[in-house]
Amino acid sequence: MASWGELTRELERLLRLRTFPIAYKRLEKVEELEKVPKVRKLDRFFTFCQLPTLVRSGGWTVGVTRAENMNQRCGRIHGLRPHLEEELHKEASMMGRVWYKNAEDAPKQVFATPRIPAGEAIVLAPLAAGKFDPDVVLIYGTPAQVMMLMCALQWEDYERLHFSFTGEGACADALAQCYISGKPSLGIPCYGERRFGHVADDELVLAVPGGMMEKLVEGLRGLYATGIRYPIALAGAELDPLSLLARPYPELLQQQKE
């Protein structure tokens, strides 16, 4: 298998990503975090959605344990706080005051939210640093880049991809869902990620199991070889597209003659 650095460089070459892909790992024990080099911890209150931008833009390696002052809802999603029913109802009460016309809709969202199993710590780092084997890799990109990533995953062993939108809390729909299911998961960055995590208006996030990264890069290479490349060259809406389509699909010319 190629190194994480090699895979990242190839991913960035083929897609021209703006920011670093992120490696994410759940740790059973706090002691495992001590083995990761140059881990930073935040000594203030913070939300999870602030962490990806510190990694993908700043190149930080960030560790969080149960001792850090991360928002409680974030802690429950990432397995750093217990999923107690009493706490979930308190969370629903808070969400219901902001996100829903009817308070009774809030528990539906809260109890539908994917959550990572309990552990003692999590760590995030630039994938290229190769500091650990990630459970999940987060890749932020434009809709066109994310589309290319998903097509690359389908290049071999095709599978239809299914995604969900739970509501506010994109890390649940992308990262937590991917961790739980072992399948790639698309997230539409939420209000919090945009307000506190600096996610741009034109960005989406794709969570990919760490074990699928080599398959993803091979898929991008395969598409590149057939002429499906990023950035996508514009042909023009007023032009006859037949000559361009006939390159990969020559049978179209014959169909037109018929």
Instruction: Determine the pLDDT at residue 49.
Output: 95
Comparing C-alpha atoms, which of 64, 72, 57, 71 is closest to residue 25?
Answer: 64
Q: What is the pLDDT of residues 72-91, one digit of tens each?
A: 999 999 999 987 888 888 88
Q: How is the chain split into domains, by residue range? A: 7-232+242-257
Residue 127 DSSP label: G
Q: Share the mean pLDDT of the chain.
A: 94
Instruction: Determine the pLDDT at residue 94.
Output: 84
Residue 125 DSSP label: E
| 15 burial level (CB within 10 Å; 0-12, 13-18, 19+) | buried
Long-range contacts for 80-86 (Cβ within 8 Å, ≥24 apart)? Answer: 80/118, 80/119, 80/120, 80/121, 80/122, 82/118, 83/115, 83/118
Residues 6+ apart with CB under 8 A from 126: 8, 20, 21, 22, 23, 55, 56, 59, 61
- Give the confidence band of 258 by pLDDT, cuts at 50, 70, 90: low
204-209 β-sheet, strand order:
62-65, 121-126, 22-27, 136-141, 204-209, 185-187
pTM, two decimal places: 0.94
Which of 1-10, 82-91, 210-219: highest mean pLDDT? 210-219
Q: Are the beta carbons of 122 and 27 closer than 8 angstroms?
A: yes
Segment 169-197 mean pLDDT:
96
Instruction: Determine the pLDDT at residue 127.
Output: 98
- 199 pLDDT higher than 80: yes
Q: How many CB atoms lie within 10 A of CB 190?
A: 21
Q: Which residue has the higher pLDDT, 247 or 11?
A: 11
Task: Bin 167: left if φ > 0, else alpha if -120 < ψ < 50, else beta.
Answer: left
Q: What is the pLDDT of residues 19-50, one digit of tens each?
A: 999 999 999 999 999 999 999 999 999 999 99
How far apart (Å, rounded) are the C-alpha atoms in residues 73 and 91?
7
